Amino acid sequence: MQDKVTLLRGKWLEALESGEYQQCVGIYRKGEERCALGVLLDVAKKYGFVTQQQYDKVDSSELEFEIIGDVKGIYLVGQHNDRGMKFTEIAANLRAGEYDAG
C-alpha cells in the first residue's frame, strides 16, 4: 500500500494534469480558480489529509513541505505558477524531480 505522501502527491499530479482546474496567480484560490498549491490543498481536502478548518484558513505549509519536501521547491512551484507556467508543465517538473530537495 502506498504511504499517504506518495498517494497525495500522485492525486495532486493527476489533478494538475486533468484540465479540471482553472488557473489563477498570486493567491491559492479565487472563486473557482486555483494556483498549483491551491490545487494541492483542494486534493488534500478531498482525500481527508486536511481538515475543513485548515482548508478554510489555507493552512497548508506543513502539507506542502511534506509533499514537496523542500522550502525552495514550494517557493518555486508558487513562483512558476505566478509567472504563467501551465499546470501540466508544473506537473511535468514535479514528475522530473525539479522541485525536490537536493
How many structural domains does the chain have? 1
Would residue 99 count as lying in a domain? no
Would residue 36 count as lying in a domain? yes
Domain span including residue 82: 4-92
Tens of pLDDT, residue by residue, the chain (102 residues): 468 888 888 999 999 999 999 999 998 889 999 999 999 989 989 998 888 887 887 756 666 767 666 668 888 999 999 999 999 999 999 999 888 766
Residue 73, pLDDT score: 81
CA-to-CA separations, 34 to 21, 39, 71, 89, 97, in angstroms, rounded: 7, 6, 20, 15, 22
Would residue 16 count as lying in a domain? yes
Residue 68, pLDDT score: 67
